[in-house]
Chains A and B, each alone.
Chain A
């Protein structure tokens, strides 16, 4: 069993839909990253959170430390949101980042 799992693996949505990507982890963490990787490989860090909720534009990330679960929400999705979204757990010992397998999102106009 992977230490960091994501669901769904692939997601296709119509423009304007509300999207949720889930991440669950089994290790003790100090924080969790949500990353966006565009075709070609470039990675952008969207959020780093250790508790509660963060919002940036149409993106919202939440984390529940007790349940070891995080979600990334995209409101009013747009084709430019099409990318792979990766959650990455920063272990409590700060010595390692463990990546989830990624969720490939395609938003259709």
Chain B
């Protein structure tokens, strides 16, 4: 069974541009979580989607947004990129809320 997949693996953007990151959960999983791990910092919760709806978001500005599609895959959009958005963005999925999360390999975003 395929695990959580993310694309692209690496993404290089310039300041002010927009970035789109994609995540495909494990088949049958309906919850998708996004996390940011900036250099030198721990993992920070970004967004949680379940059954197509945004359930909660962390302390990030509105230029971080996303959506979950009917097939439960998800997209994270970061608008008006800033240098400090450079980070590893991890996606995780779970069968339902409150159970074990499985992590994808991450997308490394570099903003120059």
Contacts and interface: CB of A to CB of B under 8 A. Distances in A.
Chain B associates with chain A: yes
Interface of A: 30-31, 33, 35, 41-45, 48, 86, 88, 90, 94-102
27 contacts: A30-B98, A31-B98, A41-B37, A41-B105, A41-B106, A41-B108, A42-B103, A42-B105, A42-B106, A43-B90, A45-B100, A45-B101, A45-B103, A48-B99, A94-B97, A95-B48, A95-B55, A95-B56, A96-B56, A96-B58, A97-B35, A97-B45, A99-B35, A99-B43, A99-B44, A100-B42, A102-B42
A41 B101 contact: no
A37 to B, nearest CB: 8
B72 interface: no
A64 B73 CA distance: 36
A55 B112 CA distance: 44
Nearest to B106: A41
A43 B33 contact: no
A97 B90 contact: no
By DSSP majority rule, is chain B's interface helix, strand, loop, or mixed? strand
A33 B55 CA distance: 20
A7 to B, nearest CB: 14
B102 interface: yes
Given A41-B108, A42-B106, A43-B90, A96 B45 contact: yes
A38 B98 CA distance: 25
B41 to A, nearest CB: 9
A91 B42 CA distance: 18
Nearest to A47: B100
A107 to B, nearest CB: 22
B42 A97 contact: no
Contacts of B98: 30-31, 90, 94
Contacts of B101: 33, 45, 48, 97
B88 interface: yes
A52 to B, nearest CB: 16
A88 B43 contact: yes
